[in-house]
Structure 1
């Protein structure tokens, strides 16, 4: 058994996020055949990801605040603490904190055969997409 060493919190890159979004790893692969990655992600009010998709899908468990998830069809789903959202493989989406509140979620993904293709990052969302207008 191993107690995982503390890893410093990192601020996510502006190429993939708008606003301040911090990342804290919970579980990262140790062995070549392990694929699960689990991280806590904290969003400042109104902060958001760019459009993206995950090769093998993603689970997100909201732990604090109110999360918004948007799809290419214009839908926006609000998710509250204790709820888990599943995004199927390849589905383009974004996540964000609702206006005026911080939001925290635990993101769970499996790395693809090529870790570089696990998440495909696309363009930033617009204010209209974030607001649902």
Structure 2
């Protein structure tokens, strides 16, 4: 298999997507399990309005915003407001706080996949 095609509906069928009581949902669609030769993890993320999340990830991540907006408070005090069509690069080990005043949706790309997978297992 060389090329695969995914949509937001693929993420919505993911078991963790609608987990009750969780304000932030992510669904990996391309990872080491589904595509063993992939050098990245790709999925969809969704956050409920009014949510807040602090994150220090051990991997690089890119968010491509597809809906809603978010404010990202970087460790240096800079606040980034992101909207649909914008891209946010989050370097590994940076300390950021995400504020979701309205609903938020994005496609995320994380690398390297082995570090992402290890982190996901530790925080499941």
Q: TM-score, normalised on structure 1?
A: 0.65
Higher helix proportion? 2
| Residue 96 (structure 1) shift | 3.4
Counterpart of 1:48? 52
Aligned ranges 1:1-133 → 2 under 5 Å: 1=1, 6=10, 8-9=13-14, 10-11=16-17, 20-29=23-32, 30=34, 32-55=36-59, 57-97=60-100, 99=101, 101-110=102-111, 111-112=113-114, 115-117=117-119
Q: 1:64 to 1:90 in 2, by over 3 A?
A: same
In structure 1, C-alpha distance between the alignment counterparts of 2:122 and 2:63, rounded to whole Å: 17
Q: Which runs of 5+ in 2 are unaligned?
A: none
What is the number of residues matched between the two proteins?
A: 114
**Structure 2 length as normaliser, TM-score?**
0.69
Distance 1:63 1:105 in 2: 5
Q: For residues 58 and 119 of structure 1, what CA distance do their matches in structure 2 show?
A: 17
RMSD: 3.2
Moved over 6 A (4+): 118-121
